[in-house]
Structure 1
Amino acid sequence: MFKYYLFTPGPTPVPPKTSLAMAAPIIHHRSPQFATVLAEVKENLKYVFQTQNDVLILASSGTGGMEGVVTNTLSPGDKALVVRAGKFGERWAEICKAYGVEVLNIDVEWGRCVKAEQIAHGLDKNPEIKAVFVQAHETSTGVKFPLKEIAEVVKKRETTILVVDAISALGAMEIKTDEWGLDVVVGGSQKALMLPPGLAFVCLNEKAWRFVEESRLPKYYFDFSKEKKSLEKNQTAYTPAVSLIIGLRENLRQIKQIGLENIVKYHQRLSDGVKMAVKAMGLSIFTKENPSEVLTAVEAPKGIDAQMIVKKLREEYGITIAGGQSQLKGRIFRISHMGYTDEHEMVMTIAALERVLIELGYELIPGTGVKAIQQILLQK
């Protein structure tokens, strides 16, 4: 018998207090009680996004928010510049192609980071590009992208918007939407915001809303103009995920109480500890540049299938981490340290990882990784 622990880059653990709030009797989504909840959530989402603009709340996964951005800001035949440095960069390109948007790709080796200069070169070469699509960090590789520098490039062009997938970054990494000039930012509920899957968030600035007014792609459910009008009345255009929004209210209160700056530092601390531990164990970090503080992507030892590491941790120790995606399947495993996760759980995970590796034939002195992570976490 064992307890169940979740350390995937989504979904992530939900705080017990939040689960209890969501278990309360359901209220009607057009009632004054729900309007009060939504009004509070609306304001506190601005704090998390670091913006003065309203944040749309959609009943969908983060991918729904991504698709909604494409259909609400572009028109048939428009050109988009897409950074493909992992699985989720590829998703931007796939969504654009599905709606007849011409995609120009910047292909970056998985594990490497796009440079702002590459964005500038792409825009100089194709000045008619209407949107640049990028990740805050690429969840499939653990690489963090230089959003501030990329925004400096894009903001010089009035006819181009920067769209950021921050689904697994929001609430864990520094995302300064207004200060950096990020035109569109997409978030999701099941990552650092510590909720079950089911909510997507989209923040658009004034420049991006001008693109919405001109967009001619088909849309119905994900109609941002309708959602904006409804949100102004503390409502949603269609039936919302009421219980999830009530849970979100609890988590946003907690985030605001702790403070975003402190939360970002905490995630960095956990990240430093895990990365130091796996290196001490003789393992290699897959991420070659700009490692994210949200998760650690680790190369499996030679001769050991990473999927077997994931399987043994889950089935024998009750610890769920993530494997590699696409061409990285079997090559890497990923340990998330975002959201409702504490230091002791990370130490436990490293201890279990040591045992699994030894069981799979990897030569390792027990306690090597545990000692390394403890040394980081003991630093005040």
Structure 2
Amino acid sequence: MLPDHQFLRIPGPSPIPPSVQRAMNQPMIGHRDQETKHLLHSIQPALKPIFGTKQNVLIMSGSGTASLESAVVNAVHPGDKVLVIVTGAFGDRFVQICAEYQIAINRHDVEWGEAVEPGAIKDYLKNHPGIKAVFATFCETSTGVLNPIQELGQIIRQHSDALFIVDGVSCVGGVEVKMDAWAIDILISGSQKALMLPPGLTFAAVSERAWKVIEKNDRPSFYLDLTKYRDQLENDTTPFTPAVSLLFGLKQMLELIEQEGLEEAFARHRQMMNMTRSAFRSLGIPLLTSDKAASPTTTAIRPDDFDPDILRNVLKKEFNLTVAGGQKHLKSKIFRIGHMGYCSPADILQTISIIEVALRKIGKQVELGSGTRAAQEILLSGGS
């Protein structure tokens, strides 16, 4: 094993393209200088299609959790009734944030590994009038589930006046999203997942409907006040010091997506998902989610005859391949493979091949090459 030869296959942070790394190595510029204004101005037109919106996409320095908190603190008041759809650890994070701000939480729990049923939300809204906002996680990386956001948006708009607030941190850039057409009011994301950047940038796109609510919210907020970011963006600047090097990288990342094509990027992610799922089926190792609920950016595997943490340790120690473990009650029960952003079908073939060898090393009897062959067949068929 070469010390510097690392294979990162977790659900974020994801690998960084070399051209993005080079872009971030550019000499620093003044954050209030004209160069930074030009940079911010040039980024907006390319960001909007990724979010599926005509609205400007606000850019803040912070983690994905900062964007979750910004949505809560701007869109709802203490005491407001909200519905939080919890399909995993990051849906639960919305609950924790709302609790910190004294929001009246209505919680809809779904078994981990399953996607929410839109009909259940329809019934809930009919029976619980006065909900001010519905929070949902698009891709739940703790389980590898992709929730039916389009259907949820239609139901929420038809059966309530609630704002629809969506955590797209781990899938925006890797799956199709049409914020405006799907009636999403606030769509948030982060830089370190399918957007192929290091951690440190967070994004929020806000509908006109949501702005009307936010503008009436008199709760004190300083750094996370979205109106400040909106107003300053009109002048191609930010209210606080931006992460300039990450903005350089963001511009280059957007150029890479433009070169590949957005639809092609989505198809690549679906293909990698199908390759990964087919490989583990061929190896006889159970998947956590159904095909219908599966995310194109993360796959969760739930073995029934070996300890996933032992496998992960062998992968890391002997091959420098990092895959993720389970969270909360799924800890030591699943492992997760990230296939998002700067990741190709060739990377998946390599990952599956290494995992096959590691499985044999821990005593799991698998036919070497069977998983790789299954993934190869998906690739050759063009299956996406």
Q: TM-score, normalised by structure 2?
A: 0.97
In the alignment, which residue of structure 2 is the partner of 1:46? Answer: 48
| Match status 1:263 vs 2:279 | no
Match of 2:202 among 183, 193, 200: 200
CA apart distance, 1:129: 0.6
Secondary structure, aligned partner of 1:357: helix
1:79-110 Cα distance to aligned partner (Å, 9 max, x none): 11001110000001110010000110101100
In the alignment, which residue of structure 2 is the partner of 1:252? Answer: 254
In the alignment, which residue of structure 1 is the partner of 2:294? Answer: 291
In the alignment, which residue of structure 1 is the partner of 2:241? Answer: 239
Secondary structure, aligned partner of 1:272: helix
CA contact (8 A) 2:84 2:107 kept: yes
Secondary structure, aligned partner of 2:102: coil
In the alignment, which residue of structure 1 is the partner of 2:303? Answer: 300
The 2-side partners of 1:210 and 1:123 are apart by: 22
Match of 1:144 among 143, 146, 149: 146
Secondary structure, aligned partner of 2:180: helix
In the alignment, which residue of structure 1 is the partner of 2:27? Answer: 25
**Where does the alignment leave 5 or more consecutive residues of structure 1 unmatched?**
none
The 1-side partners of 2:221 and 2:44 are apart by: 24
**Where does the alignment leave 5 or more consecutive residues of structure 2 unmatched?**
none
In the alignment, which residue of structure 2 is the partner of 1:125? Answer: 127
The 1-side partners of 2:377 and 2:220 are apart by: 55
CA contact (8 A) 2:125 2:159 kept: no
Paired letter, 2:296: E
The 2-side partners of 1:220 and 1:45 are apart by: 25
Same amino acid, percent of matched pairs: 39
Mapping for residues 1-380 of structure 1, pairs under 5 Å: 1-2=1-2, 3-156=5-158, 159-288=161-290, 289-302=292-305, 304-380=306-382
1:288-319 Cα distance to aligned partner (Å, 9 max, x none): 351111111001242x2211211211121011
CA apart distance, 1:218: 3.0
The 1-side partners of 2:89 and 2:74 are apart by: 23
The 1-side partners of 2:351 and 2:219 are apart by: 46
Q: Structure 2 vs 1, CA of residues 111 and 40 (structure 1 numbering), >3 Å: closer, same or farther?
A: same
The 2-side partners of 1:156 and 1:237 are apart by: 36
Secondary structure, aligned partner of 1:340: coil
CA apart distance, 1:117: 1.2
CA contact (8 A) 2:122 2:159 kept: no
RMSD: 1.1
Deviates more, 1:350-359 or 1:62-71: 350-359
Q: Structure 2 vs 1, CA of residues 158 and 332 (structure 1 numbering), >3 Å: closer, same or farther?
A: closer
Q: How many residues align?
A: 379
Paired letter, 1:296: T
Paired letter, 1:204: V
Secondary structure, aligned partner of 2:111: coil
CA contact (8 A) 1:73 1:214 kept: no
The 1-side partners of 2:367 and 2:30 are apart by: 57
CA apart distance, 1:157: 5.2
1:195-219 Cα distance to aligned partner (Å, 9 max, x none): 0000100000011111101223331
Moved segments of 4+, more than 4 Å: none
Q: TM-score, normalised by structure 1?
A: 0.98
Secondary structure, aligned partner of 1:155: helix
CA contact (8 A) 2:61 2:201 kept: yes
The 2-side partners of 1:11 and 1:320 are apart by: 11
The 2-side partners of 1:212 and 1:225 are apart by: 8
Secondary structure, aligned partner of 1:149: helix
Secondary structure, aligned partner of 1:378: helix
